[in-house]
Structure 1
């Protein structure tokens, strides 16, 4: 089997990493301030995006992870009843969504495209809402 880690042309529809960690907080503003003061997170309007890593398939590419507290009960996590949501970075979004549909996975919305990438939300077998994100630099249109 050929080593796929060095294959920068690999377009297999799959997760390539973690794009974000989102969780409920009774007071997101205070939570952000606590994490900034005590753990040194650099806070922005959405939380913190200071977690950077290199893409193993494309070593020149720097990826970031978004960390965000949301107000407890925020509808963004619906229909999940969980207190967290993970955003996974993916490649080849359209093919991945087709595969998920074939596998009977619940797709919550249509693929939405923004300047910074494509997003879609799904539910896993445990009732967790998952956000899938294909960043612009990873797009395979």
Structure 2
């Protein structure tokens, strides 16, 4: 079974999300939007756009709960529900909640160090 196929997002916890977002925008040129992040569009080796994105954002981190980590990684997966079932069978701490929206399917697992890991099955064609 195919598991992780790429990185869908990187999320940082910040004491002052606005100030940290402004720092990244000013010093690293990341186009931080009003929601606290940006979406990097994928391109092939020739610079031609391809289907796929990676989200980057800074927030207060409440979304990371129950993790106390300063970050959360979102991994793209091929089949979310099959992977969550497999992770449960392997004894992993899979969170009960899943979400489905126009943005895709989302589920979460805690790694052995207490970091919340987000798993994302993008919508068809992405």
TM-score by length of 1: 0.77
Structure 1, 59-68 or 90-99: larger mean CA deviation: 59-68
Equivalence for 2:97: 110
Which string of whole-angstrom CA distances, capped at 9 and with x for unpartnered residues, describes residues 55-100 of structure 1? 8xxx9742111111112xx321111121111110111111111111
Q: CA deviation at 1:19?
A: 0.7
1:47 pairs, out of 12, 19, 37, with: 37
Contact 2:51/2:125 (8 A) holds in 1? no
Q: How does 1:51-130 map to 2 (within 5 A)?
A: 51-54=40-43, 61-71=50-60, 74-130=61-117
Gaps of 5+ in 2: none
Equivalence for 1:35: 24
Distance 2:56 2:3 in 1: 22
Gaps of 5+ in 1: 1-11
Distance 1:23 1:138 in 2: 27
Runs of 4+ in 1 over 3 A off after TM superposition: none
Distance 1:111 1:42 in 2: 30
Q: How many positions carry a matched residue from both structures? A: 122
Q: CA deviation at 1:33?
A: 1.4
Structure 1 vs Structure 2 CA RMSD: 2.1
Change (3 A) 1:118 1:24: same
Distance 1:92 1:46 in 2: 28
Q: CA deviation at 1:39?
A: 1.2
